Amino acid sequence: MTNDKLICVVGATGNQGGSVARRFLKAGFRVRGLTRNTASPTAQALSSAGAEVVAVDLNDVSTLKSAFAGANVIFSVTNYWEPFFRPDCREQAEKEGISCRKFAYNVEVQQGKNIVDAAATVVDSLDDNGFLVSTLSQAEKCSGGKFKELYHFDGKADVFPAYVDEKYPELAAKMSSIHTGYFFTSFNILPDSYMNKLPDGTFEMSFTTSPDALVPHLDPVGDLGNFTYAVYQMPPGKAYMAEGTTCTWPEWIETWGRINNVPVKYRQVTPDEMTAATPDRDAGIETGYMFSYTSDPGYDGGMKLLRAKDIREAGIDCPMTSWEEWAKNNRITREIHDMQQRKIRCLLNIFRPAVIRVDAENDGLCTDRLEILRRDAYLAGYFVIVTCLEETEEFGVVEGVEEEFGGVTAAETVLD
C-alpha cells in the first residue's frame, strides 16, 4: 500500500522515532527521517528501507524548517538525557552556575520550541491530526508545585503542549500528545535499583515509588510506532498514554522473577537512599523525583489520558506488547539473569571517548567512570562503536553519543 502522504520524523534513528518511521513506511507513507548524522549505520539502514534521510540540527530552526517542507504529518520527540550526560554540557552548566539537570532542561525546551516554530510554518499542509508529539505530564503543575525540578518531565510538557497552546493555536488544533510509559529497557540506566542481587540470591528492586502505585510500561522500539499510527487515525486534540502494561513495581519484578525462576522482592526506599545508590548523583536526584512523582500524583500526573483500549474501542487497530510477553521473549531480560549468575559487570562509559580494558578477575570491563550496562542491552539508547586498539585486550570507544536508538550490538565484541 502506498500513498502520497509525507511524514517527517524527528529523531528517526532513535528508539521512538525509529519505531514511528518503520510503522509509517509499512503503511505506505513517504517517510522523511530527520537525524543529526545521515552517515550513521541506523540512518543508512533507514534509507535502505525506503526513507528519505536528511540532516538537521535541533539547535538551528532553519534546518528544521527546510526539513518540514511539504509535511502532512510531523512526529516530534526531544531528548533530555543527551545534554544531561555530555561532558561539554556539564562543563557549560558549571560555567553558568546551574546544575546539569537544569542545563539539560534548558536545552530540551529550546530544541522543542525550535521544532514547534518550524512546524508552525507548515501548519497549512499538515493533516487535521498531523502534529504527533511525544511528551510527559507537566510535573510542577500536576503536583501543585511539589515537584518543581522534575526537569525531564517539564522539559517536554512546558513545550508540548504548553508552548504550542500559548503561541500557535492553529497548530495546537492539529496536535495529539503521546505520553510514554516507563520503557521496558529502562533497567539499563539503573540496573542496581531495578535488579540488585542480594547475598541470599534474591533480586531486589528498590525505588521511592509506593508499592501500590500503578505504573505504565512500554516497549518503545516495538510498539510506539503502532501506537502513533493508531493515534494518527483518531481525531486531533487528545492526549494519550502509550503503554503495554500498567502494574505496580512489585508486580513488575514478580513477573520477571517468575519467568526467570529467581526469588525477587520490592523495597520502597527514601530519595536519599536512591541518590546514594546511583553512580551519578544528579541522575539519582532526577530519577528519584520521577519515582516519587509516580506515587503522587502519579506518573501521568493525574491526567485523564486515552490508552490503547480506548483506541480499539474506536475501531482502530492498536497492537501493544505486555511486560510479560516482552520479558518471556526478549533475550535482554534473560541475559541480565545469566550475567548476574556469573557475576559479570560491564563498566562502559558511553557518554564520552574513553579507553577501557578487560578486567579478567571480575570478568568484565573497567573504565574511569561507572556506567553499568549489559551485553545485548539497548545501552540506554545510545550507539557505541568499539574497536580493538592493540593485542593487549584494550578497546576504545571511538564514537560516543551517536543517536538515540536501540538494538545496538557493537559492544558485544568487547564482552564476548
DSSP letters along 118-179, please? HHHTTGGGS-TT-EEEEE---HHHHTTTS-S--HHHHHHHIIIIIIHHHH-HHHHTTEEEEE
pLDDT at 190: 83
pLDDT at 342: 41
Q: Specify the DSSP element, H or E, that contains 246.
A: strand 245-247
Q: C-alpha 64: how far from its chain's center?
A: 21
As beta bridge partners, residue 251 has none
**What SS3 state is found at 326?**
helix
Q: C-alpha 255: how far from its chain's center?
A: 22
pLDDT at 400: 34
As beta bridge partners, residue 131 has 74, 175
Q: DSSP secondary structure string, 285-322?
A: HHHHHHHHHIIIIITTTT---B-HHHHHHTT-------
Q: Which residues contact 208 (CB under 8 A, 6 or more apart)?
A: 268, 269, 270, 271, 274, 288, 291, 292, 295
CATH number of 6-180+215-243+280-318: 3.40.50.720
pLDDT at 2: 64
pLDDT at 175: 99
pLDDT at 192: 81
C-alpha cell at 285: 536526584
Q: Tell me the C-alpha distance between 416 and 413, whole Å.
A: 5
**What SS3 state is found at 384?**
coil
C-alpha cell at 245: 502494561
Q: Tell me the C-alpha distance between 18 and 47, whole Å.
A: 12
Q: Count the Cβ atoms, other than its own, within 10 Å of residue 37.
A: 15
- What are the structural domain ranges in the chain? 6-180+215-243+280-318, 343-415
In this structure, are residues 191 and 379 in contact, taking their beta carbons and an 8 Å threshold? no
How confident is the prediction along the chain (416 residues), in pLDDT tens digits per residue?
Answer: 567 999 999 999 999 999 999 999 999 999 999 999 999 999 999 999 999 999 999 999 999 999 999 999 999 999 999 999 999 999 999 999 999 999 999 999 999 999 999 999 999 999 999 999 999 999 999 999 999 999 999 999 999 999 999 999 999 999 999 999 999 988 877 888 898 999 999 999 999 999 999 999 999 999 999 999 999 999 999 999 999 999 999 999 999 999 999 999 999 999 999 999 888 999 999 999 999 999 999 999 999 999 999 999 999 999 999 999 999 987 555 555 554 444 333 333 333 333 333 333 333 333 333 333 333 333 333 323 232 222 333 333 333 333 332 333 333 222 22
pLDDT at 279: 86
Tally of residues, the chain: 416
Q: Tell me the C-alpha distance between 241 and 301, whole Å.
A: 11
Q: What is the pTM of this model?
A: 0.83
Q: C-alpha 184: how far from its chain's center?
A: 10
